[in-house]
Amino acid sequence: MKWIPRKNKKPLIVFILIILFIAGVLDIIFEGLLFQLLPDAVQAFLKG
């Protein structure tokens, strides 16, 4: 990541982490691919 100036790396990493977190939450809500890969016990726990 040399093409990104040092002062802009931290906000970019935070932005990427936020996007990944939102994608994970949406995946669980809509029972997407990653949700389906979870063990049945974890799926049952998340469904309530």
1 located within any domain: no
Contact indicator for 32, 26 with CB cutoff of 8 Å: yes
Taking only the tens place, the pLDDT of each residue in 1-48 is 667 677 778 888 999 999 999 999 999 889 889 889 989 999 899 887
Contact indicator for 34, 27 with CB cutoff of 8 Å: yes
Alpha helix segments (H runs only) across the chain: 6-29, 33-37, 40-47
**What pLDDT, on a 0 to 100 scale, did the predictor assign at position 19?**
97
Using CA atoms, how far residue 33 sits from 12, 22, 30, in Å, is 26, 15, 9
**What pLDDT, on a 0 to 100 scale, did the predictor assign at position 20?**
96
**What pLDDT, on a 0 to 100 scale, did the predictor assign at position 12?**
87
Q: Which domain holds residue 30?
A: 6-47
**What pLDDT, on a 0 to 100 scale, did the predictor assign at position 39?**
93
29 located within any domain: yes
How many domains does the chain divide into? 1
pTM, entire model: 0.70
**What pLDDT, on a 0 to 100 scale, did the predictor assign at position 6?**
72
Q: Using alpha carbons, select from 11, 27, 38 the residue that is nearest to residue 1.
A: 11
11 located within any domain: yes
